Structures are given as C-alpha cells and as structure tokens.
Amino acid sequence: MLNEAEDVLVVIAIVALSLITMLILNRVWPREKRKVHNDLIGWQLGILGTTYAVIIGFMLYTVWTDFGAASANANAEANQIVKLHRLAAGLPTEQRDQIQALTVAYADAVMNREWAEMAEGTVGMESSEISRKMWHVLMSIQSPTWTQITSEDHALYELSTLVQCREARELEVTSKLPGVLWFVLVIGGVLTIFSACLFGQDSTLLHGIQVFSFALLIGLVLIAIADIDRPFMGSVHVSDTAFRRALVNIQPEQAPVGNESPH
C-alpha cells in the first residue's frame, strides 16, 4: 500500500497527465473545430459522469463501511481480552493465573507483533496459538463450586467470541476489492476525464481549470478507496489503540496474582 507521500504523487500524476492530454488534444484537434461537437460531447460527459459518480460513490461507501466494521471488530476483540482477564478471577487459582497471564500475552502479541505484520498484509499466528492454550486451560478445570462453574461457563463464551473476532480480523486483513472492480474504476475515470478534455473552449485557462477539477476529484477518491480498502495497511488504517488500552487495563491486575499471600 502507498504512504501519504506516494498518495500525493499519484494524485499529482493523474492531474498532470489529464492536463497534458488536454494540451495534446488542443494541438492535434484544435478547439475551434471541437466546439461544433460540444452538444454531443456534453451529452456523453453527462451520461459518463453520472454513471461513474454512482459507481465510485458506491465503492467508497462500501470500503468505508468495511473499514468501520474492521475498527469495531478490533475494539470488540480487545474488550473480550479484558472480560476474560476479569472473569478468570472466579476460576480455581491455577487456571486463574494461567488465563490472566495468557490474556496479557495475547494483547501484547497483537499490539507489538501482529499489528506490524498486518500492515504488511499478513496475519501472525501467535494470538491464535495463545487462544488455543486458553481453550486447553478452561477445559481442564474440574469445578468444585457453583461460582467457579459459572465463571468457567462465561469465560468459555467470551473466549468463543474472542476467536470469532480474531477470525474476522484475519479475513479483513486479506480481503480486498477484486481486480475487475478496480478495472471499472480506473477505466471509468479515464473515460470521464478524457470526455472533459474533448470540450472545445475559447479559454484554455477555463478549460484547464475544468479538467484539473475533474482529475483532482477523481484522483482523490480513487486514492481514498485504495487506502481504505485495506483497513490495516497504508496511510489510513485501524489503530491498535483498543489493544493498548486493554493491556493497560489488565496489566495492573496481573501484578498482585503472584504476590498473593494466604491469610
């Protein structure tokens, strides 16, 4: 994915190529001869522009919705870690200590290692391995009291939800707009800008401003779609703030566990 500087360069390239195309057309097919066709060109641009606006608007809405879902899912996964850590307080001492240590390890793995891997388009397996250890710990409990049975039942439910959130995150990292949709977006943009270049205008400056505006808007929207399409990559990405907050919430609770003394 592109960084912010590369995004700017791509937009500049789109605008520059559009203006160069307009200048070449003015030389090859003088604007005085194109003016007689402005009615036809205007009709063509109106149809193309409207169709392309619907397509590009739908694509932008879709990727933004997916981006919001990825952000909400990351927050939900972090919240499940906090819930599991706190529910572990009702488990037998051995399993309590193990689950609380594993929740801290899970949050640390996602925040400090997997987030960087997701920025490269891959999903680390460390958190998946930790969640399997949690299952093993919870299923090993021989609950002697109703309180511990209840805590185990709730912990299993929260762990199941955590696994679902992680699987959703894995899918969000690897999914992207199909190539055929990018083909439609790019070709639609080229045709729309080219139609704007075809207009025969008495003022080259006014025509240049019109082409510049079309190209700039289309370039910005295409870059926005490209950045938002991969929610954990590029200059616009889901933050790991939820996991940082979760780690802050559970680490202070972890410290007293090993220092507990019987009374």
Please tell me the distance from the alpha carbon of residue 212 to that of residue 122, in angstroms, as a whole number.
38
pLDDT tens digit string along 20-53? 999 998 888 887 777 777 777 788 888 888 999 9
Please tell me the distance from the alpha carbon of residue 244 to that of residue 241, in angstroms, as a whole number.
5
pLDDT beyond 50 at 109: yes
DSSP state of 203: -
pLDDT tens digit string along 46-62? 888 899 999 999 999 99
Token pair of 80 as six digits: 């499940």
Q: What is the DSSP string of 152-199?
A: HHHHHHHHHHHHHHHHHHHHHHH----HHHHHHHHHHHHHHHHHHHH-
Which of 199, 236, 222 lies closest to 52, judged by CA? 222
Residue 78: per-residue pLDDT: 95
pLDDT beyond 60 at 242: yes
Residue 260: per-residue pLDDT: 42
CA atoms within 13 A on the CB side of 25: 24
pLDDT tens digit string along 142-194? 867 887 888 888 999 999 999 999 999 999 998 889 999 999 999 999 999 99
Residue 235: per-residue pLDDT: 81
What residue ranges do the domains of the chain occupy?
4-254
